[in-house]
């Protein structure tokens, strides 16, 4: 009988109520509602399913160390680290997080290949090079970013007026970065071959020094570095990525980690989503946060924040197809030595 689940005190109250009062229809309803509510709470508390899921999660997460790679210029993971919400959430499951800083996406994914990190975020090109190299990674979500958030620039007094004028010129960019693809598509759209330019592979810091010193003719760069150089010096944009490159970001995870801890991966993505919402609604606050991190004035950073988009979005067939186009382009111009299938390393758990 269900009465055996009722606390003794509640049973005494019910008995007294029945013995001493003439029940109206309303009183009967109130009594049964109170009893039903108590039964629900008691049975729910006694239910093994309510506690077993939590216990199972804690059991599989206990002692797990999640190693996340980030770039200071990659706003969301940098903010996720500094705001501390992920660390607190993971602590409740018995897991903890460590952080490793990288100057760009390619070395971060090299670390993933070496088994040194479990999760990270890069632009659209690094995971293609990593897949070609055999890195055991998975695409787990994407960030829409913005085509306006990367561009090919020249100094204001440069005689170069169009992308077509880059023929024979030195163009700086990070090899395997998102701007690598922008350069490829921009020169193709201008009627040039990739071999018509002189690629100069430099990190953002080195590229800026070379650009300002006149050692390269043009620079393909992304925000916030793009916003910083626009703010600090006189430059002209030859083209941004509009109608040339999607300029998306991708959240990536090591395959073994996803297989062993899909619940923790979802926890990470949930926490990233919370920071995304904050960043979307507070561009000025994001700029203030990044200023001491990057050494870039908040006024410059806010320029970049206002022209980008945030999101932790599931990978659709359309997104995968467009990423495949980037991989095929790199193979066609011999930037990578073999063809790959992007769909082979896409995690489907974010669609559930």
Q: In sequence order, what DSSP letters do the residues of 220-286 get, joined into one string?
A: EEETTHHHHHHHHS-EEEEEESTTT----EEEEEEHHHHHH-HHHHHHHHHHHHHHHHHHHH-HHHH
User: What pLDDT band is residue 40 in, cutting at 50, 70 and 90?
Assistant: very low
Q: What pLDDT does 349 receive? A: 83
In 3D space, the residue among 143, 164, 139, 163 whose CA is nearest the CA of residue 153 turns out to be: 163
- Mean predicted confidence (pLDDT) in 231-245: 96
- Give the range among 40-44, 111-115, 137-141 with minimum mean pLDDT: 40-44
Cα 290 off chain centre by: 17
User: Which residue ranges make up each domain of the chain?
Assistant: 2-40, 58-145+248-351, 147-240
Alpha carbons 85 and 63: distance in angstroms, whole number: 18
Answer yes or no: is pLDDT of 19 > 50: no
User: What pLDDT band is residue 51 in, cutting at 50, 70 and 90?
Assistant: very low
Alpha carbons 276 and 254: distance in angstroms, whole number: 22
Number of helices and strands in the chain (H, E): 15, 10
Q: What pLDDT does 16 receive? A: 45
% of the chain with per-residue pLDDT over 70: 82
Q: Is it true that domain 147-240 has CATH number 3.40.190.10?
A: yes
Q: Is 84 left (phi over 0), alpha (psi -120 to 50) or beta?
A: left
Report which of residues 266 and 294 the model is more confident about: 266
β-sheet bridge partners, residue 65 = 96
Q: What fold characterizes domain 58-145+248-351?
A: D-Maltodextrin-Binding Protein; domain 2 (3.40.190)
Q: What pLDDT does 33 receive? A: 36
Mind listing the pLDDT tens digit for each residue in 316-344? 999 999 999 999 999 998 999 999 999 99
- Rounded to 5 degrees, what are φ and ψ at 247? 55, 60
- Dmax over CA atoms of the chain, in Å, equals 100
In 3D space, the residue among 307, 287, 309, 305 whose CA is nearest the CA of residue 296 turns out to be: 287
94, 60 Cβ separation under 8 angstroms: no
Mind listing the pLDDT tens digit for each residue in 81-92? 999 999 999 999
In 3D space, the residue among 159, 163, 165, 170 whose CA is nearest the CA of residue 210 turns out to be: 170
Q: To 10 degrees, what angle do helices 75-83 and 283-294 make?
A: 90
Q: Are both 58-145+248-351 and 147-240 of the same fold?
A: yes
Average pLDDT, the chain: 85
Answer yes or no: is pLDDT of 2 > 60: no
Give, for 127, the enclosing helix (H) or strand (E): helix 126-132
% of the chain with per-residue pLDDT over 90: 71
Q: What is the pTM of this model?
A: 0.78
């Amino acid at each position: 009988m269900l009465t055996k689940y009722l606390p003794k005190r509640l049973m005494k109250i019910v008995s007294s109520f029945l013995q001493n009062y003439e029940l109206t229809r309303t009183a009967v309803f109130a009594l049964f509602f109170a009893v039903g509510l108590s039964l629900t709470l008691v049975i729910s508390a006694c239910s093994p399913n309510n506690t077993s899921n939590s216990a199972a999660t804690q059991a599989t997460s206990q002692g797990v160390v999640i190693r996340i790679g980030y770039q200071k210029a990659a706003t969301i993971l940098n903010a996720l680290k500094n705001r501390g919400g992920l660390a607190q959430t993971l602590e409740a499951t018995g897991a903890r997080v460590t952080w490793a800083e990288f100057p760009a996406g390619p070395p971060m994914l090299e670390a993933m290949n070496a088994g040194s990190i479990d999760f990270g975020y890069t632009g659209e090109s690094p995971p293609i090079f990593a897949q070609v190299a055999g890195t055991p990674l998975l695409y787990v979500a994407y960030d829409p970013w913005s085509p306006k958030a990367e561009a090919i620039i020249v100094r204001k007094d440069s005689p170069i007026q169009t992308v077509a004028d880059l023929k024979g010129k030195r163009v700086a960019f990070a090899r395997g970065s998102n701007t690598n693809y922008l350069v490829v598509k921009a020169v193709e759209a201008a009627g040039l071959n990739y071999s018509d330019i002189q690629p100069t592979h430099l990190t953002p810091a080195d590229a800026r020094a070379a650009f300002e010193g006149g050692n390269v003719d043009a620079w393909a760069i992304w925000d916030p570095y793009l916003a910083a150089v626009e703010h600090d010096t006189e430059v002209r944009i030859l083209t941004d990525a509009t109608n040339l490159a999607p300029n998306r970001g991708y959240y990536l995870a090591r395959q073994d980690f996803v297989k062993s801890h899909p619940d923790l991966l979802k926890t990470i993505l949930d926490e990233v989503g919370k920071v995304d919402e904050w960043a979307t609604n507070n561009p000025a606050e994001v700029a203030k946060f990044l200023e001491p991190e990057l050494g870039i004035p908040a006024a410059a950073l806010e320029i970049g924040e206002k022209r980008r988009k945030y999101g932790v979005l599931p990978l659709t067939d359309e997104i995968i197809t467009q990423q495949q186009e980037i991989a095929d382009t790199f193979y066609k111009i011999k930037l990578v030595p073999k063809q790959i299938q992007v769909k082979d390393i896409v995690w489907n758990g974010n669609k559930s």
